[in-house]
Amino acid sequence: MSSDPFSDILKLTNAEAVTTGGFTAGGKWSIRFPGRDKIKFFAIAKGECMVRLEEAAKAVKFETGDVALLARRQSFTLFNDADIEPLEAVSLFSARGRTTAQLGNGQDFTHIGGHILLDPQRGHLLADILPSWIHIRAASPYAKTFRLLLDQLIEERAAALPGTQLASSQLTQLLFIQVIRAHLANSDLLPAGWLRAISDLRIAPAIRVMHETPDHPWHLRELAQACAMSRTAFALYFKNVAGISPLSYLTAWRMHLAERQLREETTSITVIAQSLGYGSESAFSNAFKRVIGISPNTYRKQSAPHLP
């Protein structure tokens, strides 16, 4: 495994950001977007507007270079005039088989939208740790990178050069990662959990070594030493940040890796157990059943019936 826990989670969940469309606008306008069971993202490449979330008390302003992630199912409205009856995005885009639209002369405002594709079985690892709403403003320290990525993305979509589809996909993925990085920069404000733990500098060394060598028989003393902390101070601080103890985090990470191997590989359960630091198949099976709720054999049969 790598020494980059966040990349590990992105790979484990097969997180892939894709651009699905956008629109330009001029004059007065308003569009309502339905709630979706996907992590949605959008960026303002030109102009400004207001955003009203279904669950929010009031609308917030979005300006050129602002980017947002919406990780919970709720509708939202983008508008520059609150008195206008919103157009329904479903009618404006999907019903006409279009991914882009123009309102008015289209000269004042440019919006880029998309969503994050996640593995249907492992995606919750990422979806569950993201807050429902992330708004990164163009005034943030990441503004320059956002601006470069947005400008290049617009250029790629407009030019239709060879490789545009792949280039746009990679730029969108980079934009998504930059949004998460900007959000992690305020890790002290995050609730206890995976996302806060992987971004906390004090326990980062322990997180890294657990991800790098999950087969090592880690003890609390070793993990504390990696962070230059006493066992008691480390255990208390880790639980306050991650919401679980260090060894519970290690077990959870091992089980996530085990799930992937059981779904995607024909490797024997004994070999999987050894690769994750368990001395016997029975010890691994007991741990797996305690965490996942079913035995490894049952899990493999239910999640990967095509495997022999």
Averaged pLDDT, groups of 10, the chain, 308 residues long: 78 87 93 90 92 90 92 92 92 72 92 89 82 87 83 80 84 88 77 86 94 95 97 97 96 94 92 95 96 95 64
Return d(Cα 304, Cα 269) in angstroms, integer: 14
Cβ 51 vs Cβ 78: under 8 Å? yes
pLDDT at 210: 96
pLDDT at 28: 95
Whole-prediction pTM value? 0.80
Q: Give the number of other CB atoms < 10 A from CB of residue 15.
A: 22
Strands in 48-53's sheet, in edge-to-edge order, are: 60-63, 48-53, 76-79, 30-33, 87-88
- The CATH architecture that domain 195-303 belongs to is Orthogonal Bundle (1.10)
* φ/ψ (deg, to 5) at 100: -130, 160
Residue 37 to residues 79, 99, 184, Cα–Cα distance (Å): 23, 19, 23
First-to-last C-alpha distance (Å) of the chain: 27
DSSP state at residue 112: E
pLDDT at 194: 83
pLDDT at 308: 43
Closest CA to 49 of 33, 26, 20: 26
Strands 67-70 and 39-46 come out as antiparallel
pLDDT at 56: 86
Question: Domain-by-domain residue ranges, the chain?
Answer: 14-185, 195-303
Domains 14-185 and 195-303 share a fold: no
CATH node for 14-185 = 2.60.120.280
Residue 187 to residues 72, 140, 182, 238, 282, Cα–Cα distance (Å): 20, 15, 10, 14, 39
pLDDT at 76: 94
The β-bridge partners of 113 are 21, 42
